[in-house]
Amino acid sequence: MSRTVAVAHYPEGAGHATRMLAVAQALEGPETDVVLAGGGPGSRFIEYNGYEVYRPATVDYIGDYQGGSILDVVTRSVPNSLKRVFDFARWLRREDPAALVTDDMFAAMAAQFTATPLYVLTHNAASYYDAAIQEAFTWLLNQYQLSVARAFLYPAVWPPDQGDPPGVVHIPPIALEPNGAQAPDDVGVLVVPSTYSTNFGELARMLREEGHTVTLVGDDDWECAASLLPWIRSADMVVCSGYSTVMEAAVAGTPCIIYPFTDEQHGVSRVIERRGLRGFQVEHSTPHILRAVRHPPEAPSHENGAKRAAEFVLNHME
């Protein structure tokens, strides 16, 4: 008899969808079906991979706070948050899964309301944030996730660290494996913008002027790919902002230069710098990135944690 596992991603960007889809694919099997939900730009990526995805109301706390004000958070994010919890609860009642795996706080709340066994999977931690309001909110969120979930799975490119939430289950970084997709041989420097990064087009132009072959994800000649991992494996190095691409570079074994923009990205970068992880270098300006590309770090080496996450969930389900 098959059982259903629900997998839901946060709607902030495609990276959330990428890692949750990787876990969903690892969960699928003869005795396990998966259903997916999320909304936002990541849902288009999931559909591109051939899956149906439920789209609850979306929220954008980072965009409303960092690109707006507290008033925008109160008038936009908060009402949409309530609607998102309601939509997720309705979806969970309809699907009646044996468990929910999610990096979405609102899906976690809906799981509690519907008595759905919950497994949280996220790297987010209060220690990443400098702003007191963000640090306090994330600390409360971590405590809530730890209290309601059967397990808090924590994918990290670093070993257990003092800034990690206490009580998490460390797993290796997660990357979406390709389904037969192949990258060209001439990727060169792969430049991967995130939702909130800027100036990556200009950075790509300057790298080309220095004689580098450059592939800019999302450029006019870029075609959507079911998985970015083949391009990362084929690249000489990666320049990125988001942690999902950092994890993929870790799994691919490709040197990675991190150019952070959001508070969370800066927080992740600080941990990587403090731990001195092989394969990664953090820079904060275009000239420094150009220099780093000329002298890239050594290649990293990490296991893909998607299977480890799926095995943990399946082994602990009733």
Contact of 151 with 312, CB cutoff 8 Å: yes
User: How much is the mean pLDDT over the chain?
Assistant: 91
Question: Is 64 a residue whose pLDDT tops 70?
Answer: no
CA distance 89 to 110: 5
DSSP for 225-267 reads: -S-SHHHHHHSSEEEE-SHHHHHHHHHHT--EEE---SHHHHH
Confidence check: pLDDT of 13 > 60? yes
**Residues of the chain above pLDDT 70, percent:** 94
| pLDDT the model gives residue 222 | 87
Residue 28 above 90 pLDDT? yes
Total-model pTM: 0.91
CA atoms within 13 A of residue 226's CA, in its CB half-sphere: 13
Look at residue 291 and tell me whether its pLDDT is greater than 70. Answer: yes
Between 196 and 302, residue with greater pLDDT: 302
Residue 75 has pLDDT above 70, yes or no: no
Is pLDDT of 261 > 80? Answer: yes
What are the tens digits of pLDDT across the range 182-235? 778 889 999 999 877 888 999 999 999 999 999 999 888 888 888 899 999 999
Query: Which of helix, strand or coil describes residue 193?
Result: coil
In percent, the amount of the chain with pLDDT more than 90 equals: 75
Predicted confidence (pLDDT) per residue in 120-141, tens digit: 999 999 999 988 888 999 999 9
Split at pLDDT 50, 70, 90, the class of 95 is very high
Provide CB contacts within 8 A for 161, sequence distance 6+.
271, 274, 275
Query: Quick one: which of 164, 13, 26 has its CA closest to 103?
Result: 13
117 — pLDDT class (breaks 50, 70, 90) = very high
